[in-house]
């Protein structure tokens, strides 16, 4: 889409030329508008099963005790929503202070537009800093089974699992769980560049039932789009392995 491509290029140039005082992150030379001295902000356009398209607002910080509020505004200065600072997960980092990751989901309204979305981060001493994320509104398709039909019973443990390539996706995370093992994840939730994951020998057992789900995303860390812009989550699929 030429108009959107032009908008992306212009926004990328603007991000590179933005003042360091407003966009400083881990170092003053990063020039990434998602980072501020208060924390990191990102906004994802998400296509999850059985629900309308929504924004996932993300804010992470090690200075959580000083944060009073985080409000997000669209390119026309209309309020999108506020971060729920009572809901977070803690990330422990060796040799560094713990970090809290706040995630809030809000619907995408019919009047939503492409462009720079702004997080106004208010600190308890009264200071306010801003972070920005460039958003292109689009719906990323969801992955579907390719190598193993949903609900299939296999004669032997498969060597690999593959799913349909998702247009626009550059990375995938696949979540494989043992249904009879308290739903534990069997593989690290790492990023894959191809729509396939290989199973280590002996990981899957005869008589087992397994579920899997794929998260697709367009980028993995970008000075304009953040961690990612578009993402989708497939529905949960399953397969089993027959007893010998």
Question: Residues 6 or more apart from 89 whose CB is under 8 A from it?
Answer: 100, 101, 103
Q: Which pLDDT score, from 0 to 100, does residue 31 have?
A: 73
Window from 15-24, 37-46, 171-180, 181-190 with minimum mean pLDDT: 15-24
Q: Exposed, middle or buried by CB within 10 Å (0-12, 13-18, 19+), for 163?
A: buried
Token representation of residue 196: 């396939």
CA pseudo-torsion sign 13, 18, 22, 25: positive
Q: N- to C-terminal Cα distance for the chain?
A: 53
pLDDT band at 63 (very low <50, low <70, confident <90, very high): very high
- 64 vs 21: which has the higher pLDDT: 64
Domains plus CATH for the chain? Answer: 2-135 (2.60.40.10), 152-241 (2.60.40.10)
Comparing 177 with 220, the larger pLDDT belongs to 177
Hunting for tokens 């600072």 — which residue is that?
85
pLDDT band (50, 70, 90) for residue 189? confident
Identify the residue whose tokens are 């990328």.
Answer: 12
Nearest CA among 135, 131, 129, 130 for reference residue 45: 135
pLDDT at site 55: 96
- The count of C-alpha atoms lying within 13 angstroms of the C-alpha of 188, restricted to the half-sphere facing its C-beta, is 4
Q: What is the mean pLDDT of residues 23-49?
A: 75
184 pLDDT band, cuts 50/70/90, is: confident
Beta strands per DSSP E along the chain:
35-36, 39-47, 54-61, 67-73, 79-82, 88-93, 96-107, 115-123, 128-135, 152-154, 160-162, 171-178, 196-198, 209-217, 230-233, 237-241
């Amino acid at each position: 889409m030429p108009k959107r491509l032009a908008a992306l290029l212009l926004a990328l140039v603007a991000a590179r030329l933005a003042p360091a005082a407003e966009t400083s992150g881990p170092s003053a030379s990063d020039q990434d508008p998602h980072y501020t001295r208060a924390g990191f902000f990102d906004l994802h356009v998400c296509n999850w099963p059985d629900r309308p398209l929504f924004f996932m607002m993300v804010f992470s910080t090690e200075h959580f005790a000083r944060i009073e509020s985080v409000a997000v505004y669209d390119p026309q200065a209309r309020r999108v929503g506020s971060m729920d600072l009572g809901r977070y997960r803690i990330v422990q980092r060796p040799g560094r202070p713990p970090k809290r990751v706040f995630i809030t989901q809000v619907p995408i309204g019919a009047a939503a537009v492409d462009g720079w979305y702004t997080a106004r981060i208010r600190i308890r001493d009264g200071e306010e800093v801003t972070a920005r994320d460039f958003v292109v509104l689009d719906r990323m398709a969801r992955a579907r089974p390719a190598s193993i039909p949903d609900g299939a019973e296999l004669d032997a443990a498969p060597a690999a699992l593959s799913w349909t390539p998702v247009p626009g996706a550059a990375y995938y995370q696949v979540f494989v769980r043992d249904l009879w093992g308290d739903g534990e994840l069997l593989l690290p939730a790492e990023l894959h560049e191809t729509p396939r994951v290989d199973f280590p020998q002996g990981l899957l057992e005869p008589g087992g039932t397994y579920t899997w789900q794929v998260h697709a995303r367009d980028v993995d860390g970008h000075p304009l789009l953040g961690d990612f812009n578009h993402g989708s989550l497939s529905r949960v699929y399953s397969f089993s392995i027959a007893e010998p």
